[in-house]
Homo-oligomer: A and B are copies of this chain.
Amino acid sequence: MTGRKKECYSLASIANAIGGTLVGDPEILISGLCSLQKASPDKLSFLSNRAYKHYLKTTSAGAVIVSNDDQLLFSGNKLISEDPYLAYALASKLFVDSPKFLSGIHSSANLHSSVSLTKDVFIGPNVVIEEDVVIGHRCQIGSGTTIGAGTVIGDECSTSANVVIDKDVTLGDRVKIHSGAVIGADGFGYAFDGEKSIKIFQLGSVRIGDDVEIGAQTTIDRGALDDTVICDGVKIDNQVQIGHNCHIGKHTIICGCVGLAGSVTLGAYCVMGGGSGAVGHITLADHVQVSAMSLVSQSILEAGRYSAGTVQMKTRDWKRATMRFKELDSLAKRLKRLERD
């Protein structure tokens, strides 16, 4: 909780860190990143969306990241990059105002005597770690986090505050879990005995690969028999629900508020748009993109973009359209009859 950095970098050292060709003054000091419109002379900006290229004429930025194609549009200090948006991402790491690396165990933390960890980890206030947990090097466990018995965490993982990782979960290296996320709660399974629901105890767990990021308040349930699996490089936004026995392929992106029922298999490099969902026991191929708030109710075997729902309308007009939707089958049949006549 101490020692937040606020550093400046010379343009040369930024070029060194993120790549690109520097044209202009290598000594100019940069204190942060900013949009073209709002940048001051101590800021670095970037042009990735060419709809904004007119701002190059008026920006006060001390330097701009531009593509090869756009470099002539800007006469000031610049970093020429093949992919300015990617270069901006790399530069953002330099300016993040994060705490210096911390280590030590806060006096209010409760660790079972069997916990295995090294001196270079940080365990925050009110953290609870149960028996047989293994925590890798340079992990940072935020305040109020609970880690259940038998969980194994790789190197350089972090949790923000009030995260819950239940028992027997496995995390790879460099996994980042944001505040309030719950990993490994029971999957939702019952058998009906004719009168009431009988709980199916969830005997699997959750296995998470390397370089996974998990958003605030997201829940990933433990498997019923086998494990729920999140592969390397998957990025999951806030408020996402991933049901038991889902298998999320490498580098797939899951935006906010997505809900996946049980046993959904997503391929690699998929994108589930915000608020989209999938019913249980279906499979999506690699490189499938699902639009915001679309439900996937059948497996998708071919890469591509998929959507469901209807676009917004004025409610007055929408009411008429949705009433006609109810008649749609009859309208189609009447049309066919006319065609036959």
Contact = CB atoms under 8 A, between A and B. Distances in A.
A277 B293 contact: yes
A328 B329 CA distance: 10
Interface in A164-201: 164, 166-168, 178-180, 182, 185-186, 188-193, 195-201
B197 A251 contact: yes
Contact of A33 (B193, B203, B219, B238): B203
Contacts of A142: 146
A118 interface: no
- Interface residue range, chain A: 35 or more
A201 B297 contact: no
A249 interface: no
A143 B143 contact: no
Interface stretch (A8-16, A21-29, A52-60, A89-97): A89-97
Count of identical protomers in the assembly: 3
A181 B197 CA distance: 21
B162 A217 contact: no
A328 B326 contact: no
A76 interface: no
A62 interface: no
A277 B274 contact: yes
Nearest to A143: B128
Interface string A208-242: 00010101110101001110000001010111010
A327 to B, nearest CB: 7
Given A203-B92, A321-B328, A326-B317, A35 B277 contact: no
Nearest to A107: B110
A216 to B, nearest CB: 4
Given A216-B219, A289-B315, A300-B312, 6 more contacts: A1-B149, A86-B191, A126-B128, A178-B182, A178-B185, A180-B217
24 contacts: A4-B131, A83-B193, A89-B198, A89-B200, A92-B201, A92-B202, A92-B203, A96-B202, A185-B216, A215-B219, A219-B239, A243-B256, A277-B292, A290-B312, A308-B311, A308-B313, A309-B310, A310-B322, A310-B326, A311-B323, A317-B329, A331-B335, A334-B339, A338-B338
